[in-house]
């Protein structure tokens, strides 16, 4: 008797719970337009998608960085041009990161057709905002294709002079002689004037030596030719050039030109200056001293 009563009470309680749950479901559906079960399933599905999207971002970001480094190592071992190495490694890294972001967005359930439509609608504004960036990218491609300079060259461009240390997708990096870093956008560099001081293997060095009126020009000519001949870094062909240049009321100028290896340009230039300053007086010649 008692057991039957207990069973009856339990069944009654269960019926009440089911009725309450059904009423709650009915009220929830009436208010929000979907049931609690639907909400639970949506939360589980969305949470799973978000979790997978985060995993895609974390793992994909790491793979993108690793791929960039791997390509850099492979190209370095194959002795590829240093500028092309930095350009390609940066391009691959950025491209993979964009792919990872798009994949993560798709995993979250956002339809890429809608996303593309939004990008298309905003394309004009984005194009205007990034016109400079796209120009820099095109400039980087042109620099690597036509090679007006390469990593290691010393150039003058956009009023800036320095040694090229890196050519990236959007920017070229220069180091100056006083160890400053100059970052130049590739667009203006590719479309502007570029002076490459180290592209050729040899360079001409120019001096103007001023002596006083009354000094023996012939002797000065002979002495300068001897200085150049004694410097083994000066090329014998083309033959060094020494000639009487400008004549002013208080001095005469001697034009001196010689050829040497590009790497020897400044050492040869300073060496002749030093000899002229230290030895001209011993030769009976006087450098011009402005009044």
Q: Which residue shows structure tokens 């399933």?
A: 41
pLDDT at 24: 47
Q: What is the pLDDT of residues 247-271, one digit of tens each?
A: 998 899 999 999 999 999 999 999 9
Percent of the chain with pLDDT over 90: 44
Measure the CA–CA gap between 90 and 168, rounded to whole angstroms: 7
pLDDT at 118: 61
pTM check: above 0.85: no
Whether 197 and 155 have beta carbons less than 8 Å apart is answered as: yes
What domains does the chain contain, in order, with CATH numbers? 36-121 (1.10.287.1260), 149-196 (2.30.30.60), 202-283 (3.30.70.100)
């Amino acid at each position: 008797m008692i057991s039957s009563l207990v069973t009856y009470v339990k069944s009654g309680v269960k019926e009440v719970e089911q009725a309450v749950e059904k009423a709650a479901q009915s009220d929830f559906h009436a208010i929000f337009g979907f049931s609690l079960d639907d909400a639970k399933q949506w939360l589980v599905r969305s949470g799973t998608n978000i979790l997978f999207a985060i995993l895609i971002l974390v793992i994909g970001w790491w793979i993108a960085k690793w791929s960039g480094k791997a390509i850099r190592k492979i190209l370095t071992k194959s002795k590829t041009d240093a500028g092309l190495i930095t350009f390609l490694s940066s391009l691959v890294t950025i491209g993979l990161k964009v792919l990872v972001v798009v994949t993560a967005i798709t995993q979250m359930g956002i339809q890429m057709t809608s996303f593309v439509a939004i990008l298309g609608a905003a394309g004009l504004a984005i194009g205007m905002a990034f016109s400079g960036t796209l120009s820099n990218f095109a400039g980087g491609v042109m620099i690597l294709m036509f090679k007006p300079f390469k990593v290691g060259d010393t150039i003058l461009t956009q009023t800036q002079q320095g040694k090229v240390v890196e050519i990236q997708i959007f920017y070229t990096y220069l180091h100056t002689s006083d160890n400053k870093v100059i970052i130049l956008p590739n667009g203006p560099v590719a479309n502007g004037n570029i002076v490459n001081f180290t592209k050729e293997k040899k360079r001409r060095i120019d001096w103007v030596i001023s002596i006083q009126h009354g000094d023996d020009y012939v002797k000065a000519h002979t002495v300068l030719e001897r200085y150049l001949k004694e410097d083994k870094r000066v090329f014998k062909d083309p033959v060094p050039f020494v000639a009487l240049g400008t004549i002013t009321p208080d001095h005469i100028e001697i034009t001196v030109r010689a050829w040497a290896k590009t790497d020897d340009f400044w050492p040869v230039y300073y060496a002749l200056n030093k000899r002229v300053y230290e030895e001209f007086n011993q030769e009976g010649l006087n450098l011009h001293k402005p009044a």
